[in-house]
DNA sequence: TTGAAAGCGATACCAC
DNA sequence: GTGGTATCGCTTTCAA
């Protein structure tokens, strides 16, 4: 819960003429506050004479009047706010693009999108912080939310809660990002190309387990019941650690590796090549995310291309959910995973 | 200005027991709303008996009560909201990290950070949209804000407006990101290593001119009065365009290139190498941003390392500005630019 | 220690 | 056409 301090220093301002309200506009225009509201909101149920309209607009402009969103939504009993937690890890270009598109699409539907900088708050605490803003909809990527969190949000007026992540949460709509499929495709691909001892690179960095764990699981599942093995290989995103790993690579006895994503793949590939190993000869490498950089490597990096949901579709889902909050939660698989075979595998 | 529709479909909800208010908590606990407020906010000016406190907390928990931020800040006359526009272009890892750090630091100071998904709104329109939320401070990266925008925000109660960008804006604090220095360092470096015909890669993509233009200018300035030349070289971030550029590279007669950033550098380097050109022999290449990938290229990519401001420092600046809104606007140069010489130049 | 009530800013109903 | 005014949820005097 956000604490509001008791007016830090009341006497510090050099009389900054206080913020203009609709009452000020009314006074200046010589009309009532009601009229101001009618004019400024183009209320169609009421006809206001042209001269009056002009006077009101003039007054508003002159005062630099800007309506008070909090007051408005308090009165209205609801907002058009769609809230998402701001990502706590560096978002890749994929996700950034998705986010921009989504904001644009929701903007078109007249929603205001806001990313809430939730910091150390976990789980229900975070949900409460979001609920304080009384958003009409909440979009939550990842694992940040449990069923209770959903309940908190709904009880506080959120008409739609949508999770984007590997698992559905009770009571919320779910856009299922099936990261298992990513690992599955990758391992399958390696298997089909004759590899049997498959390593799966797992970032040592915090906060990425949400994605890496299911990718690993998917790889495991892909070779279940075959003669192939899957080995978990942790790697920090830094040269030294990659060099260390490369130095003991032969001892691992792997003939292929799925490298979490293209960036980790690049890091590992370089280290292996520096160590004199041939790619894909000695070790096949495949990444994920289909970033530009993979195309620029030599050998060209095989990768798993991810298809994120379109921002427009998600915006439409949100709008639908807001309009009909009691509809059964929708579940959509939204992560297309397709192997792009290049030269490294 | 956000339009609120006249209650889309009033009859669609299956009586979702309405959102609990502090009055509900009071009723359930058998006390007055005042007491609820005292208890929930730990008001120190007033002693509430332990049994009462317990009853209130219990009731709040049972109802799933979450305070209404809008009502609260309406009453209080101010918020603890720090607003930033959400970046409209894919933010690099540098900026992402900075953002996360900043949010964390502001969170520590008890501010709520929010990234506002401003879509098609330009200039003053955007400023008005932000002002509606009555943020106590606004942080604006880039060129999105003019002096009038600042005025709008201040008149609507923002106690601090901070711009992050190449230029200061009247009335606002400025964190000056001197991208000219980046280009200057790069070109200087190339010049000192004996290069005289320097190309500067400029992204063909929209929205990046804000950074690329000053970088080009800086490069120009660096060789002013020497026998060296600087040539503007547009490039789209795609392989085909890079290949086209590489094919006519020799005809450009350049012996060095500053490639806007490491990613464009990688793209170009690959295309040049594929064309059979030697780096740095035929053409020296230097990037910027000092991303990991530069270290992984062969030859290793020279680059300009950027030092962004620390999130903690910026948070402190914001806090200072909020506490003393009438202090003279601060101006800080915050973009350290240092050449990291590797093998490509 | 607790309660009654004013008021923050905007909107919409009901009079005139 | 336009103007009072009750109301949204919450905090905070002031009284009891």
pLDDT in tens, B327-340: 999 999 998 899 99
Residue nearest to nucleotide C8 (CA to C1'): B75
A98: helix, coil or strand? helix
For residue B339 the two structure tokens come to 């050449």
Sign of CA dihedral A108, A94, B183, B250: negative
CATH architecture of A180-307: 3-Layer(aba) Sandwich (3.40)
pLDDT of residue A10: 34
Cis peptide leading into residue B280 (ω within 30°): yes
The answer to whether B76-177+309-333 and B180-307 have equal CATH topology is yes
pLDDT of residue A210: 84
Residue nearest to nucleotide D3 (CA to C1'): A32
The confidence band for B14, taking pLDDT boundaries of 50, 70 and 90, is: very low
Residues A91-118, mean pLDDT to the nearest whole number: 92
User: Can you count the helices (H) and strands (E) in chain B?
Assistant: 14, 12
Strands B284-286 and A81-85: unpaired
Residues in CB range of B272: below 8 A, 6 or more apart: B246, B249, B279, B282, B283, B285
**B33 Cβ within 7 A of any nucleic strand C atom:** yes
Of A86-95, A304-313, B146-155, B250-259, the least confident: A86-95
Parse chain B into domains and list their residue ranges.
20-67, 76-177+309-333, 180-307
pLDDT in tens, B177-218: 989 999 999 999 999 999 999 999 999 998 888 899 999 999
For residue A58 the two structure tokens come to 């003039």
In chain D, which nucleotides are within 7 Å of a protein Cβ?
Answer: 1-5, 7-13
Residues in CB range of A225: below 8 A, 6 or more apart: none
Percent of chain B past pLDDT 90, that is, above it, reads: 83
Given CATH 1.10.260.40, say whether it is the number of domain B20-67: yes
Give me the helix-helix angle, A93-108 and A311-323, nearest 10°.
40
pLDDT in tens, A6-28: 333 333 333 456 899 999 999 99
pLDDT of residue B17: 65
pLDDT in tens, A312-344: 999 999 999 999 999 999 999 998 899 999 999
Element (H, E) at B272: helix B262-274
Cβ–Cβ gap B107/A115 under 8 Å: no
- Contact predicate B60/B24, CB 8 Å: no
A48: helix, coil or strand? coil
Residues B240-256, mean pLDDT to the nearest whole number: 98
CB atoms within 10 A of CB A91: 21
Query: DSSP code of A132?
Result: T
Rounded to whole angstroms, the distance from the CA of residue B74 to the C1' of nucleotide C7 is: 10
- Contact predicate B326/A13, CB 8 Å: yes
Percent of chain A past pLDDT 90, that is, above it, reads: 82
Cis peptide leading into residue B299 (ω within 30°): yes
Question: For residue A79, which residues of chain B lie inside 8 Å, CB to CB?
Answer: 4, 70
pLDDT in tens, B146-168: 999 999 999 999 999 999 988 89
Question: For residue B137, which residues of chain A lie inside 8 Å, CB to CB?
Answer: none
Q: Exposed (0-12), middle (13-18) or buried (19+): which is B33, by Cβ within 10 Å?
A: middle
CA–CA dist B119, A106 (Å, integer): 9
In chain C, which nucleotides are within 7 Å of a protein Cβ?
Answer: 1-5, 7-13
CA nearest to B295 within chain A = A239
Rounded to whole angstroms, the distance from the CA of residue A36 to the C1' of nucleotide C15 is: 18
The confidence band for B143, taking pLDDT boundaries of 50, 70 and 90, is: confident
- Contact predicate B117/A103, CB 8 Å: yes
Cα of B185 to nearest chain A Cα, Å: 26
Average pLDDT for chain B: 92
B96 φ/ψ angles, rounded to the nearest 5 degrees: -60, -45
Given CATH 3.40.50.12280, say whether it is the number of domain A76-177+309-333: no
Cα of B45 to nearest chain A Cα, Å: 11
Question: pTM of the predicted model, to two decimals?
Answer: 0.90
Element (H, E) at A84: strand A81-85
Query: DSSP code of B18?
Result: P
CA–CA dist A97, A208 (Å, integer): 19
Rounded to whole angstroms, the distance from the CA of residue A33 to the C1' of nucleotide D3 is: 8
Rounded to whole angstroms, the distance from the CA of residue A59 to the C1' of nucleotide C9 is: 17
The confidence band for B141, taking pLDDT boundaries of 50, 70 and 90, is: confident
For residue A197 the two structure tokens come to 């001892």
Residues in CB range of B253: below 8 A, 6 or more apart: B197
B117: helix, coil or strand? coil
pLDDT in tens, A158-205: 999 999 988 899 999 999 998 999 999 999 999 999 999 999 999 999
Element (H, E) at B94: helix B93-108
**Using CA atoms in the order B18, B20, B25, B27, what is the torsion angle rounded to 10 degrees?**
-20
CA nearest to B77 within chain A = A7
């Amino acid at each position: 819960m956000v604490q509001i301090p008791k007016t830090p220093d009341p006497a510090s301002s050099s009389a900054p003429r206080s913020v203009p309200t609709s009452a000020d506009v009314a006074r200046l225009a010589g009309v009532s506050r009601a009229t101001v509201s009618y004019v400024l909101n183009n209320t169609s149920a009421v006809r206001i004479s042209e001269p009056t309209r002009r006077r009101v607009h003039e007054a508003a402009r002159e005062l630099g009047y800007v309506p008070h969103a909090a007051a408005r939504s308090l009165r209205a009993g609801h907002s058009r706010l769609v809230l998402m937690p701001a990502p706590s890890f560096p978002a890749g270009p994929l996700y950034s693009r998705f986010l921009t598109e989504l904001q644009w699409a929701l903007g078109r539907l007249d929603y205001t999108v806001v990313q809430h900088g939730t910091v150390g708050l976990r789980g229900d605490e975070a949900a409460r912080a979001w609920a304080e803003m009384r958003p009409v909809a909440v979009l939550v990527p990842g694992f940040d939310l449990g069923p209770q969190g959903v309940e908190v949000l709904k009880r506080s007026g959120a008409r739609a809660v949508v999770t984007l992540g590997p698992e559905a949460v009770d009571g919320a709509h779910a856009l299922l990002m099936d990261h298992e499929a990513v690992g599955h495709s990758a391992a399958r691909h390696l298997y089909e190309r004759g590899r049997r001892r498959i390593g799966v690179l797992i970032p040592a960095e915090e906060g990425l387990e949400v994605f890496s764990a299911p990718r690993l699981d998917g790889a495991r599942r892909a070779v279940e019941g075959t003669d192939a093995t899957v080995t978990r290989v942790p790697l920090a995103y830094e040269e030294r650690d990659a060099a260390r790993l490369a130095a003991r690579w032969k001892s691992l006895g792997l003939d292929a590796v799925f490298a979490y994503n293209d960036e980790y793949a690049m890091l590992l590939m370089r280290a292996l090549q520096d160590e004199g190993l041939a790619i894909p000869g000695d070790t096949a490498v495949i990444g994920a995310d289909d970033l530009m950089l993979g195309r620029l490597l030599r050998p060209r990096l095989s990768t798993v291309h991810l298809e994120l949901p379109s921002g427009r579709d998600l915006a439409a889902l949100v709008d639908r959910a807001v309009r009909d909050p009691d509809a059964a939660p929708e579940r959509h698989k939204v992560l297309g995973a397709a192997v792009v075979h290049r030269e490294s595998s």
